[in-house]
A = this chain, B = another copy of it.
Amino acid sequence: MSHAAISLAGVFPPITTPFDAGGEVHYQALEENLERWNQYDLAGYVVLGSNGEAVYLSDEEKVRILETARRVIPRNKLLLAGTGREATRHTIAFTRRAAEAGADAALVVTPHYYTARMTPDSLLQHYLAVADASPIPVLIYNVPGFTGVNVDAATVGRAAGHPNIVGIKDTSGNINQAADTVRLAGPAFQLLAGSAGFFFAGLAIGAVGGILALANIAPAQCIEIYRLSKAGRWAEAAELQRRMLPVNAAVTARFGIAGLKAAMDMLGYYGGPVRSPLLEPSEGDRQALRNILIEGGILS
């Protein structure tokens, strides 16, 4: 498997996991959401990512979610599965199960509980071991806002030497580091912007695409930012990017996954409840969210 074997170019929504009123996974709603998203020119999906509340799912649920998603996701779209665990051994085991369930690649969040111990050498050892054992290509998932751990550009550069480590989702928002990652990891390595807040800037400095929570509710706009950028229409891309910022903030930093799910409900997707300890948005939050969606041209 070489770096070139899989193209990550384009837009990927890290999809939410639908729960029913009783808090159980709503597999049918998952299928219906995917069928609707399939109508857009998305490059694929991240299943079991942060926005999928993966940390709140059992292994059994995770496998069934992957299998369900794979059935609905056409073969020309990628299924990237979140498979990272704290232990290297558990990450390897679940990455194998994800591959069996049909995942095209594994998105492996940095281990992070022993934050200060997650040194460059420790992280490198982890990713090399996972990549050695994984039947599918591996992406590093750097999300210091959740983990408190950052994978620096030099470490990514070292990891990129492994033929089965093909890319990174960088959600740090540190555009200097992202550009340095492109420099040190080389042209075959694929950088994905981890948030719509810096999707366009990421594309400008060399990202091939983005894994964007915003793409759950505004796939057309995210794809348009990508297309305008690829067409060299930078001013228009920057302008659309800016217009999306308040919407993106609302479904990420401001109201979180509960906000993202509420927005999905407003837009005709199945959003539904979050699992505890996450809290549902207040009525005031929902109203503010609705106004932001309207002002952003997402909701009429």
Contact = CB atoms under 8 A, between A and B. Distances in A.
A30 interface: no
A143 to B, nearest CB: 10
A203 to B, nearest CB: 9
List the number of copies, as a whole number: 4
A56 B91 CA distance: 10
A204 B206 contact: no
A32 B197 CA distance: 43
Contacts of A174: 173
Given A183-B245, A205-B241, A238-B179, A276 B125 contact: yes
Given A55-B86, A146-B114, A234 B204 contact: yes
Interface in A72-119: 86-90, 111, 113-119
Given A50-B113, A116-B253, A174-B173, A276 B89 contact: yes
A35 to B, nearest CB: 28
A148 interface: yes
A228 interface: no
A200 interface: yes
A280 to B, nearest CB: 11
Nearest to A257: B114
A1 interface: no
A201 interface: yes
A283 interface: no
Closest 10 CB pairs of A and B: A176-B197, A126-B277, A88-B276, A204-B204, A56-B87, A55-B86, A183-B242, A175-B175, A201-B201, A175-B201
A183 B89 CA distance: 42
28 contacts: A23-B89, A87-B276, A87-B277, A88-B276, A114-B256, A115-B145, A116-B253, A117-B256, A117-B279, A121-B279, A122-B278, A125-B277, A126-B277, A173-B174, A176-B245, A179-B197, A179-B198, A179-B200, A179-B201, A179-B242, A180-B245, A180-B249, A183-B243, A204-B234, A205-B241, A205-B242, A206-B238, A234-B234
A58 interface: yes
Most chain B CB inside 10 Å of its own CB: which residue of A50, A123, A278: A278
A200 B205 contact: yes
